[in-house]
Structure formats: C-alpha cells, structure tokens
Amino acid sequence: MSSRQTPDDLPTRRHPPIARRRPPAERVPQAGSVPPRTRSGRADRTVQVQPPPEPPDPGSSGLYVPWWGFALVILAVAGITCGLWGLVLMNRGESTTGLGPTPTPIFVVITATPTLGPASEEGGASPEGTGEGEPMLTPTETAPPEPSPTPEEEERQPPQVGSTVIVTGTEGDGLNIRQGPGVNFTLVCLAQDGDQFLVEDGPREGDGYTWWSLSSPENPDCFGWAVEPFLEVILP
C-alpha cells in the first residue's frame, strides 16, 4: 500500500487571520509613535483643529451698562418732566388770575342826618324829588374840637430881677447853687424841689446855660448862681 494520503485524508491547516489594514485617513496615531512617511519621504503631519474661543464676558467690558442703570435714568427723566409740567401749570394759574388774588370789594354806606329845611314861602312847591312834609337831607359838618393847651405846653415866663422863683424838675437830685455863673465855680449849697428864692441878678451865659443870681429868704447862707431850666416863676 502506498504511504501517501489523499487530500481528503490530510488534516486541514488553520491559517492565522489576516489583519485588515485601515486606510491612511482612518488611522489614529498612537502616543509617542512616529508619523508614517509618505512615498515622497516626508512625514505625514496630522493637523489638529483648535476649538473656537469662548465669547467674552459682557460684564468685563468698560461700555457695559447694567439693566438697573437704564431704569434709574428713565425714573429720573420722568421725575424731571413731571416737576416741569407742574411748574408750568402753577404759573399758568397765576397768570390767569392777574397780579394777585382778587381784592374783596368794600362798600361804604354814607348816611346823612335828616334835618328839616325852611318851609317854602307862601306855600310854594317843594323842591324836585321831595314831597310835601318830607324832611330835606342837608349834610352837616362838625368841626373837630380844638385841643386845649396843657400847662406844660404853655410858655414859661422867664425869671426877672426881683421876681420869686421856685425850684422844680430835679426829680429829687437837687439844684446846685454856685458862687459864679458856670459849672466850674465852687458849690455853695444844694436846693431841693419846692425851695423858693429871690432873683437878685442875671441873666448870665456860661457853659451853655443861662444863670441867675438867687438868695434864699429862709436860709441866708444859701445864695449864689443857678441855671434857668429848673427855676419856675411864682406869679403874684
């Protein structure tokens, strides 16, 4: 018998699976691997696409205005407009009423005192507008009373040599009697209100006053010169 086996009797050999190669467009380069070279001898460089940049934040811009800023501007404009409109209405009301409020009219009723006029001579006709026996209205004018002069307003009689005068108006301070007609002369005595003196000499002018020489009938040691404004003449 022959030692050869028929093909059907031979055991079948298992061939290793053939790895399918991806086309160059689908190959993913591994980390650290060298890009394959093309036929021209240059390396195939894969272009990496950068992601698009994020839009900038509007708040970081100097021209950014928040929404509440617009609201404040609108409220301010509305307030100013209302104020101006109210001012215009107020001025219009004042211009229509004139320069000021309407003055209240004041009515003055003048009443005349009725007086009986003289009767018409020989029964003549009465004046027009009046019937027989009716009183005639004639205005009467009353003169204001003249003020009576008071004692202070009466002209005071100036002292004369030989007249008797009384001290008055010092209000308790007294009147200085001096040796001469002037305030620099020596003081002799002090006369009080109500003291009477006899005018011996004068008048003399000195230091802006009119001076009279006086002597006291009750006190012989009190004599000298005194100013006129505090002396009042005693009429006989």
Quote the pLDDT of residue 209.
92
What are 8's strand-pairing partners? none
pLDDT at 77: 93
Phi, psi angles (nearest 5°) of residue 206: -165, 130
Quote the mean pLDDT of the chain: 72
- Lowest-pLDDT range, 67-81, 104-118, 149-163, 197-211? 104-118
Quick one: average pLDDT of 193-203?
A: 92
Residue 124 pLDDT greater than 50, yes or no: no
CA-to-CA distance for 165 and 197, rounded, in angstroms? 5
Structure confidence at residue 165 as a pLDDT band (50, 70, 90): very high
Percent of the chain with pLDDT over 70: 49
In Å, what is the CA distance from 110 to each residue of 114, 116, 137, 139?
12, 19, 12, 11
Residue of 164, 169, 191 lying closest to 178 (CA atoms): 191
In the predicted structure, residue 57 carries a pLDDT above the cut 70: no
Q: Are strands 114-115 and 136-137 parallel, antiparallel or unpaired?
A: antiparallel
Higher per-residue pLDDT: 16 or 85: 85
Q: Provide the sign of the torsion angle of the four alpha carbons 167, 172, 176, 177, taken in this order.
A: positive
More confident residue, 53 or 186: 186
pTM for the complete prediction?
A: 0.37
How confident is the model at residue 41, as a pLDDT?
53
pLDDT, tens only, 18-43: 656 655 555 555 555 555 555 555 55
**Residue 145 or 70, more confident:** 70
Out of 2.30.30.40, 1.20.1260.10, 3.40.720.10, 3.30.1490.190, which CATH number does the structure's domain 164-233 have?
2.30.30.40
